[in-house]
Amino acid sequence: MKKLVLAFLLVGFGLGELTAQDRERRDSLVFTDHPHRPFLLSILEAPVLEGMSEPRIILPNVQLLCYDKTITFKVTTPSGESQGCLFIDTEGGFMSFIPPKPGESPDCTIKPEDEDFDLTVMGLAGNSYHYFNYRNNGTLYHGVTNSGIETTQISYTHSPEPIELRRTEMTKEFLGGKVKAFAYKVTDRTELWYLFGKELPDKVNFAPKKYLGNFGIGYQQAEGGLFLILEVEGSPYDAQIVDIRDVQNCFDSRPFKPMETEIFERALESNEREKQKIERQAQKINSEDYCAGIKERNLQFKREVAERKDGQLRAGQSSAQSRLGQPNQQSAATYQGFSQTMFNFDDMIQESIYDIELRICEQERMLTFQGNANSPSTVQRIRAKIECLEQEKQGQINMKEQFAQMDAANSNDPQLPYKKLQQLSSLQRSRCN
């Protein structure tokens, strides 16, 4: 084993005869005489992982996000090869990536003005955001959502416990031959991690929450120092660093609107339009109308629902705003609160019952004022429709009672709203035409 390592050092780096002590200090020898020493020193810098700076808490749309390293990488899967870009702030401790795509090597320029712009940002402090563009009514908008990925998930491995990697004698050159990396592997596993660092120990235990990268490649701090994972081979996919550069590249997140608050803003605008529609309908009610009382009652109920929804939406918007920028806060709570506001099943059923009562009233008006003019077949058809509507109304009443029983028995069931919606949708298809 030692003879193999010695032979590698003699041939690979032309360092002459080494002592046993020298072999234990391979890092200093490599960086002393290596022809690309300045480059190697520059790419093996990650102050935040080495304890020389603190991870920065990033907010979704209030700042510039600047990077000092850009990595071009490729991912190979059974369906083919794709290439993408990583942008890393080694001081602030966050990483962004553009999803890999098949085709030519990307230029790794952040272009938020592109219609298909898509960028994910992950921070060691726990924040994670997805920035994207979308069109609505022909207008291009910039959106951001809190991905809610915890720091512990941004790891070189999905194992919850540290895994010990052992160095093999396999090597591979990267970055145009500037870097020669050793392959490390876990006992009884097939994956290979090609590592490059100032030290090349026999064993490596990666430190938890000390990873900056994605797809298994990037920077990883270990007990033996900082490593650059240049390739992961043999996992569900193979990922490899193609290029790495020092840059001064910034992304302006300020034009991007958080979708967690945007959905409430748009719902408030829609609710305001609904309130205006209600008032227009109220102005059209003729007090002499046979069904005027029912129409006024229905509109008053809709007013109350709209006012109640307005207050709930504003409270939800404020709550969503307060969650933005907090580490490990997921969007699930925001969207759950939004869904509960928009889908108040008691209100939905009661409004449906009132609408059915209005339809019954309109049929009764036809019998009352047009009775003599209607043919026997028409009268029979109207009465059959009234009977059908009465049955439909009773079905809604029964469903409302059933929902109350479901709430009492399964109030903590997360699937309860979906079960209600499924049952309610079956009643919305009126059979009474």
Whole-number average pLDDT of the chain: 81
Looking at the predicted structure, is the pLDDT value of residue 5 above 70?
A: no
Say if residue 149's pLDDT is above 70: no
Per-residue pLDDT at 259 exceeds 70: yes
**Res. 358: pLDDT tops 90:** yes
- The helices-and-strands tally (H runs, E runs) of the chain is 10, 14
**What would the pLDDT profile of 36-55 be if each residue is shown by its tens digit?**
788 888 889 999 999 899 99
CA gap 346, 399 in Å, rounded: 10
Residue with token string 């907090």: 326
Structure-token match 């509109």, residue found: 299
- Give the C-alpha distances (Å, rounded to integers) separating 97 from 58, 141, 205: 15, 20, 26
Residues 6+ apart with CB under 8 A from 305: 344, 347, 351
**Residues sharing a CB contact under 8 Å with residue 184, sequence separation 6 or more, in sequence order:** 165, 166, 167, 168, 192, 193, 194, 195, 204
So what's the pLDDT on residue 323? 66
CA 432 to the chain's CA centroid? 44
* DSSP, residue by residue, 226-265: EEEEEEEESSSSEEEEEEEEEEEEEEE-TTPEEHHHHHHH
pLDDT at 99: 86
CA distance linking residue 251 with residue 64, whole number of Å = 6
pLDDT higher than 90, residue 416: no
Query: In the structure, what pLDDT confidence band is assigned to residue 146 with cuts at 50, 70 and 90?
Result: confident
Answer yes or no: is pLDDT of 211 > 60.
yes
pLDDT level of residue 429 (50, 70, 90 thresholds): low
- The answer to whether residue 15 scores a pLDDT higher than 60 is no
